[in-house]
Amino acid sequence: MKKIKKQTVGDLAVIACVIIICGLWFSALQSGGKSPIAIIYKDGKIAEEAALSEDRVIRLDGVVIQISDGKIRFADADCPDRLCVKSGWLYKNGDTAACVPSKTVITIKNNREKAPYAVTF
Q: Which stretch in 11-19, 28-36, 81-89, 110-118 sits in contact with Zn ion by CB under 5 A?
A: 81-89
Q: Which is nearer to Zn ion, 39 or 77 (CB)?
A: 77
Q: Where are the alpha helices (DSSP H) in 1-121?
A: 3-6, 9-30, 83-86
For residue 81, the minimal CB distance to Zn ion (Å) is 6
Considering the rule CB under 5 A, would residue 40 count as an interface residue with Zn ion? no
Considering the rule CB under 5 A, would residue 37 count as an interface residue with Zn ion? no
Rounded to whole angstroms, the Cα distance separating 66 from 72 reads 6
Phi, psi of 62 (to 5 degrees): 85, 0
Q: Which stretch in 10-18, 41-49, 72-80, 87-95 sits in contact with Zn ion by CB under 5 A?
A: 72-80
Considering the rule CB under 5 A, would residue 47 count as an interface residue with Zn ion? no
Considering the rule CB under 5 A, would residue 60 count as an interface residue with Zn ion? no
What is the C-alpha radius of gyration for the chain, rounded to an integer number of angstroms?
21
Rounded to whole angstroms, the Cα distance separating 103 from 45 reads 10
Among 40, 77, 97, 106, binds Zn ion (CB under 5 A): 77
Phi, psi of 82 (to 5 degrees): 55, 25
Q: Which residues lie near Zn ion (CB under 5 A)?
A: 77, 79, 84, 99
